[in-house]
Amino acid sequence: MSEEKFIFLIEVVAVLIVAVWISIASSLIYRKRRLKVLKYIEETFADIVSRYLYNDIQNPLTLIEIQRTLRKAGIKSHKKANIQYLINLMIRTQRTILGTNHKKLKMLYAQIPPYRVSISKITGFGWYRKAQGIREIYEMDQSQYRHNILRFRNHRNVYVRREAQIALVVFLGWESLRFLPYLKREISLWQQIKIVEKLYDLYPTPELPWLKKAYKTDKLFGKQLLMRGIRKYKLQAEVNFIIENLNHPNYEVRETAIYCIQTFVISDEWMVEVKEIFSILPDATQQMQLLKYIFNNSEIDLDFYLKHLYANNDDLKLKIAEILWNNGYKEKVQEFYYQQYAKINPYVE
Amino acid sequence: MWNSVEGFFSSNYVYWAANYFFFIYGAFLMIFYFTGVILANIAIKKNKLKSSFLQVSDIVSATDIPSVTLVAPAFNEGLTIIENVKSLLSIQYPYYEFILVNDGSTDDSLEKLIKEFDLEKKDATFIIQPITTATVKYIYKSRNKKYTHLTVIDKNNGGRADALNAGINFTTTELVICTDADCIIEQNALLKMVRPYLEEQEKEIIACGGGIGIANDSIIKNGILKELRLPENLVPLIQVVEYIRAFLLGRMAWGEINGLMLVSGAFGMYPRKRVIEVGGFDAKTVGEDLELCIRLRTHMENLKVPYKVVYLPETLCWTEGPPDHNILIKQRDRWARGLWETMSIHKKLFLNPKYRFMGILFYPYWLFFEFGAPIIEFLGLICIIAFSFLGWINWHSAILLFTLVYLIGCLFSTAAIFMYVKNFDHYNKPKQIVELLLAAYLEPFLYHPVLLYGQMKGYYKKLFGIKSGWGVMTRKGFKVSDT
């Protein structure tokens, strides 16, 4: 390569470095200025909300005044980042307010500059905007748009369909179980957790008919979701659904069932069934987890423990030996160990 | 073709072969780095967007999230053990257990722990050990209700990997985080780390790592990083840049194409089930973190289960970097040996289509550009010396080439600093950024040669079978604030 070419390349790289320096400097300056703007919007919003929620009769805050003040703070249609920040502030605020003020805040949301901004997002392109729009709609309880959201519940993008499914829970409550256990695509662990949490927060009284109907689902995630619901609502009468799934062929479903059963104290009859399931569980780690549950929730059943003390899994034997040792059956453990030694032929042929 | 050895050397063949070899190697490396910058940028943006749909506050309020155990081995850390344990105990997570493994310390670590946390000795006869480790002597649990989530395992010395395995054996939670007792972990780090496990639905997450930062000379209060400062000495200061580049560009880029082969030992999360299945950390290698990650990947490839290794761009764990050249050499010597051992253990992966991209791309990359880089660099130095003696070097062009390569290196470092400043708030003062940039530009002269020496020393030891363990890493300790 000629020296001229080297020099040219050096110049190019040097220019690029300078460009990155400029980017660093601009990023610092932008961040500093942006923080100032955001702080101003936040202060303005806090002032408006407090005056709006606790309106002074002598000096009432009008909608025009609110709009004017917000515009002055930079909430203008072409400043999308500012509008987004205001929406985030509203969502954050409504989460901390209850009762009449909560309703008033939602009304305010429909009347101030981000008019229809959330619904316009879900009709636009891009998964992020769609998911964001759906979230804003359900967070601000804009139930008039629920039919627009329903169609996204099986969307190909995980975030869009996730938010749409949460919206279903928010707007339909227990009735959402008409759809959720039958979705076309898998739902993640987090999604299951969030659905159950949201349902519990907004609809604390269980509506069992919807739950019972949903038991028919053959979707694995659907079964997991229902078990988590039973656990969260502590539905003792529905615990048989969890027990039935303790020996489900799928590992994850069994895992969820073992996790959920821990919340419940079950009857002796059910415990007999759990012990039977324990004996046929195909995974040793899960057997260990279930053993812990059996031990913590039933009287010492010597026959049951002895049967498994002489079974094949070493870890299980050790755990059972510990249980027996610490619960007054030391001689049974000693007997077991002596028998082990007896099996070893002391003579070398 | 050549009549004698002299004839061979006096021909231009060696000169051109060497030139082309180094040029092609360098060109490939540049291509990888440039692709890395682009991929890392995409990954960071994606991560930012996705994380807005699963915020830490949502996770903290959920009642159904997986439980996590943090396992930290400690060996002769009596001076700082109480502060470190308090720091690790204060991590926010609803279902959190902490296991400290005292790996046969000969100092007063255990006595201090017993006294401070009111520990009570428990029988270790019935503990289940799916992974074989050095003998566990006792298990300690606190009588104080404040510390019910603390367990101390006292065992015979077996090294870091062995201590981690002992801790993993004792865990009952779904997820295990392995760290070091002297690391400062961000309060919400676990909440961020579980995010990929909660969100992923098509692939199984087999390992998750978070960014690691250098916190020499920073202020620590009650085990929490109170004020992040840039190190006063040049060696750790350059490491700040090195870590930013490695974690933000390297790891994020590989993570984007699911090509991560390493989750740092200082802070890595794994599902307990999978770690037990593969037999835990390999206590025979000093590169146990890299080795475990590759073994986990190989295991999943064999099982034909879709999997993912993920990295979070945020710095979640702060550690003290080697404060001077001597300790740095020891550290890099150990890393080089660990790399050598791991590459050797998993040599069957090399260009093996059975392991798909891992065999065809990821492992060869590690072999040629991570393991091979110091060797190539060393050979390059020898060639420069030899060729200059033979008068084969056009010094004017060589200096221009050196300047070009140096500037390209500076460009990558500057880009990494820019991405860090743009996305994170840790270093936001102009003075700090200028210092970081200067450190990056001095790195090739004042830091890199030392690094190369450390790496070559490690390879030399492996080549000639010189036995060497972890070595003593003397630390200065963080600045602790009482106010």
Confidence label for A174 from pLDDT (cuts 50, 70 and 90):
very high
Asked if A158 is an interface residue toward chain B (Cβ–Cβ < 8 A), one would say: yes
Residues 6+ apart with CB under 8 A from B254: B36, B39, B260, B261, B311, B362
Q: Cβ–Cβ of A17/B198 closer than 8 Å?
A: no
B169-200 confidence digits (pLDDT tens): 999 899 999 999 888 999 999 999 999 998 88
What is the average per-residue pLDDT within A101-121? 78
Mean pLDDT score across all residues of chain A: 88
Instruction: Give the pLDDT of residue B328.
Output: 95
pTM: 0.88
Confidence label for B7 from pLDDT (cuts 50, 70 and 90):
low
Residue among A7, A17, A32, A258 with most chain B CBs within 10 A, to mutate: A17
A275-305 confidence digits (pLDDT tens): 999 999 988 888 989 999 999 999 888 899 9
Q: Cβ–Cβ of B404/A9 closer than 8 Å?
A: yes
- Closest Cα in chain B, distance from residue A195 (Å): 11
Q: Cβ–Cβ of A6/B397 closer than 8 Å?
A: yes
Lowest mean pLDDT across A148-162, B8-22, B158-172? B8-22
- Closest Cα in chain B, distance from residue A85 (Å): 13
- Closest Cα in chain A, distance from residue B407 (Å): 6
Closest Cα in chain A to B437: A21
Report ipTM (2 d.p.): 0.89
Selected residue with higher pLDDT from B432 and B468: B432
- Closest Cα in chain A, distance from residue B49 (Å): 7
Query: Which residues in chain B have Cβ-Cβ distances shorter than 8 Å to A132?
Result: 52
What is the average per-residue pLDDT within B29-41? 95
Residues 6+ apart with CB under 8 A from B340: B371, B458, B459, B462
Lowest mean pLDDT across A252-261, A334-343, B67-76, B318-327? A334-343
Element (H, E) at B298: helix B288-303
Amino acid at A124: G
Asked if A240 is an interface residue toward chain B (Cβ–Cβ < 8 A), one would say: no
Residue among A20, A129, A327 with most chain B CBs within 10 A, to mutate: A20
Instruction: Give the pLDDT of residue B474.
Output: 63
- Kindly give the residue spans of alpha helices, DSSP state H, lying in B128-263: 160-170, 189-193, 195-199, 234-244, 252-256
Closest Cα in chain B to A283: B273
Separation between Cα atoms, residue B418 and residue B435, nearest integer Å: 13
Closest Cβ–Cβ partner in B125, B408, B418 for A24: B418
Q: Look up tokens 């936001």; give the residue.
A: B428
Residue A143 CB neighbour total at 10 angstroms: 15
- Can you read off the two tokens belonging to residue A222? 């659907």
Q: Is the pLDDT of residue B373 over 90?
A: yes
Query: Which residues in chain A have Cβ-Cβ distances shorter than 8 Å to B418?
Result: 20, 23-24, 27
Selected residue with higher pLDDT from B375 and A109: B375
Separation between Cα atoms, residue B455 and residue B459, nearest integer Å: 6
B13-28 confidence digits (pLDDT tens): 888 899 999 999 999 9
- Closest Cα in chain B, distance from residue A251 (Å): 12
Closest Cβ–Cβ partner in A20, A162, A228 for B64: A228
Considering just the CA atoms, what is the radius of gyration of chain A in Å? 31
Closest Cβ–Cβ partner in A17, A188, A193 for B201: A188
A40-91 confidence digits (pLDDT tens): 999 998 988 888 888 777 777 788 888 888 888 888 878 888 988 988 888 8
Closest Cβ–Cβ partner in A21, A190, A315 for B54: A190
Determine contact, residues B328/B322, Cβ cutoff 8 Å. yes
Q: Is the pLDDT of residue B167 over 90?
A: yes
Q: Is the pLDDT of residue B32 over 50?
A: yes
Burial B387-402 (b: 16+ CB within 10 A, else e): beeeeebeeeeeebbe
Instruction: Give the pLDDT of residue A345.
Output: 55
Residue among A12, A13, A255, A290 with most chain B CBs within 10 A, to mutate: A13
Residues 6+ apart with CB under 8 A from A141: A106, A170
Instruction: Give the pLDDT of residue B289.
Output: 95
Confidence label for A103 from pLDDT (cuts 50, 70 and 90):
confident
Confidence label for B1 from pLDDT (cuts 50, 70 and 90):
low
- Can you read off the two tokens belonging to residue A349? 């042929």
- Closest Cα in chain B, distance from residue A12 (Å): 10
Closest Cα in chain A to B129: A315
> Cβ-count burial of A29 within 10 angstroms (0-12 exposed, 13-18 middle, 19+ buried)?
exposed
Instruction: Write out the residues of chain B at the interface with chain A, using a CB-CB cutoff of 8 A.
Output: 49-50, 52-54, 58, 61-66, 125-126, 128, 130, 197-202, 273, 276, 396-397, 400-401, 403-404, 407-408, 410-411, 414-415, 417-418, 421-422, 428, 430, 433, 437
SS3 sequence, chain A?
CCHHHHHHHHHHHHHHHHHHHHHHHHHHHHHHHHHHHHHHHHHHHHHHHHHHHCCCCCCCCCHHHHHHHHHHCCCCCCCHHHHHHHHHHHHHHHHHCCHHHHHHHHHHHHHCCCCCHHHHHHHCCCHHHHHHHHHHHHHCCCHHHHHHHHHHHHCCCHHHHHHHHHHHHHHHHHHHHHCHHHCCCCCCHHHHHHHHHHHHHHCCCCCHHHHHHHCCCCCHHHHHHHHHHHHHCCCHHHHHHHHHHHHCCCHHHHHHHHHHHCCCCCCHHHHHHHHHHHHHCCCHHHHHHHHHHHHHHCCCCHHHHHHHHCCCCHHHHHHHHHHHHHCCCHHHHHHHHHHHHHHCCCCCC
Instruction: Give the pLDDT of residue B363.
Output: 97
B107-145 confidence digits (pLDDT tens): 999 999 999 999 999 877 777 788 999 999 999 999 999
